[in-house]
Amino acid sequence: MAPRNCALCKNAKAIIKRPKTGQQTCKECFFLVFETEVHNTITSARLFKPGDRVAIGASGGKDSTVLAYVMKVLNERYNYGLDLFLLSIDEGITGYRDDSLETVKQNQRDYGIPLKILSYDELYGWTMDAVVSQVGRKNNCTFCGVFRRQALDRGAAMLNVDHIVTGHNADDIAETVLMNIMRGDIARLGRCTSICTQGEDTIKRSKPFKYAYEKEIVMYAYFKSLLYFSTECIYSPDAYRGHARAFLKDLEAARPSAVIDIIHSGEAFQVREEVKATQKAQQTCTRCGYMSSNVLCKACTLLEGLERGIADAGISDRGRRKLEAAGPSPDDMRTIPLFFMPSSVSTTPSLAASSSQPSLPGDASNSAGAFASHPP
């Protein structure tokens, strides 16, 4: 069968079939569609304000590499007026993170975006290699996830930014919905599909790739010849998320729209008021000043457990009881530095959904809704 012409421009030969829509396009039209859908997501959710200082969470992987590139392109194309920074967290995983950081440094040079690297060792006095040597591989992802989230906020505070963007894509969010359902995690289920989160004591975070399929991000990186690091974390093969990921891939193979369908289902979930009333109110950690639902934040509890040789202190009730029975914390125990919110807070109106939308090559009616003013 002869190659079809691009469904959008009608001129060039179609070489890409979009996993998200099944649409067959040429390379240049695929780039435009992908970038414009991300732009529409940004403007419809009013993610940014002119003058915002925005940190891009950069790991060197495909998602963060494409995010950095697309954010630079859109910032220049639509005059967002953002000051962009790359923010990388070095967990201290030999043979994995040290290699991926070299990719981030190359991205810094290629894109001309300033880079800040903050390490677990610098912040907590522990690398993930050291954590795994003490706790094993059963719960290491819990330590890394908690430490990483706080490290991102602290790195952003050091850069004095208003906003953190991460490369979480549609597949990631759908997996999280499935995980929270399987675990019965009502608190997280109510907020895991939010495109933007912010508390009084945290820096605003958003996910511009919320509706972007993972396969399309890979295709974009491939056809743009972007440099990214593709090796999986050596400590993550047994992570619980892997089960949700495998299930989602099976669903997507049978029904490509399953990824977006699950996200929309998650958006429709509402937590009953009586359930909300049983959830702990947010406060600040009495030790480090970071947000917490307990007297000590999760990171401080995990770190104290490591320091005192009670690795499961922040993991299980038995570990917590062991920590309480051990008595007061030693005066010379390592603790996390006090957290301060950035002083830079902008009050200018956000980028509106009415921002000018580009026209497609050819008849826009063939775009299958890709350029609507609401998320795809």
Residue 115 falls within a domain, yes or no? Answer: yes
Instruction: With cut-offs at 50, 70 and 90, classify the pLDDT of residue 327.
Output: confident
Q: For the chain, what is the mean pLDDT?
A: 86
Measured CA to CA, the distance from residue 83 to residue 342 in angstroms comes to 15
Q: What is the CATH number of the domain that holds 152?
A: 3.40.50.620
User: Is the pLDDT confidence value at 367 over 60?
Assistant: no
Q: Percent of the chain beyond pLDDT 90? A: 61
Does 312 lie in the same domain as 226? no
Domain assignment of residue 179, given as a range: 16-279
Residue 49 belongs to some domain of the structure: yes
> Which token pair is 80?
């967002």
Query: What is the rounded CA–CA span in Å between residue 339 and residue 285?
Result: 10
Of the pLDDT bands very low, low, confident and very high (cuts 50, 70, 90), residue 344 is low
- List the binding residues for ATP: 57-59, 63, 89, 167, 172
Q: Identify whether residues 264 and 291 lie together within a single domain.
A: no
Residue where a domain terminates, one of 262, 279, 296: 279
State how far the Cα of 217 lies from the Cα of 64, in Å rounded to an integer: 10
Interval 51-59 mean pLDDT: 96
306-329 average pLDDT score = 84
* Domain stops at, among 279, 299, 316: 279
* pLDDT surpassing 60 at residue 362: no
Whether residues 212 and 297 share a domain: the answer is no
Condensed to tens digits (0 to 9), the pLDDT of residues 187-220 reads 777 678 899 987 656 789 999 999 999 999 999 9
Say if residue 237 is in the same domain as residue 272. Answer: yes
Amino acid sitting at position 128: M
pLDDT at 120 over 90: yes
Mean predicted confidence (pLDDT) in 84-107: 94
Residue carrying the six token digits 């990824």: 259
Counted domains in the chain: 2
Residue-level pLDDT at 106 = 95
Is a pLDDT exceeding 80 seen at residue 339? yes
Residues 166 and 296 in one domain: no
Q: Are 333 and 1 in contact (CB under 8 A)?
A: no
Average pLDDT of span 295-305: 92
Residue 372 has pLDDT above 70, yes or no: no
Where among 241, 257, 279 does a domain terminate?
279
Query: For residue 277, is pLDDT > 70?
Result: no
One domain for residues 297 and 327: yes
- State the pLDDT at residue 238: 63
Q: Is residue 319 part of a domain?
A: yes
- pTM here is 0.86
Element (H, E) at 242: helix 241-254
pLDDT(323) > 80: yes
Q: Inter-axis angle of helices 62-77 and 214-223, to 10 degrees?
A: 70
Across residues 221-247, what is the average pLDDT? 86
Which residues pair with residue 117 across a beta bridge? 88
Going by the annotation, the residues of the binding site are 57-59, 63, 89, 167, 172
pLDDT tens-place string over residues 147-161: 999 999 999 999 999
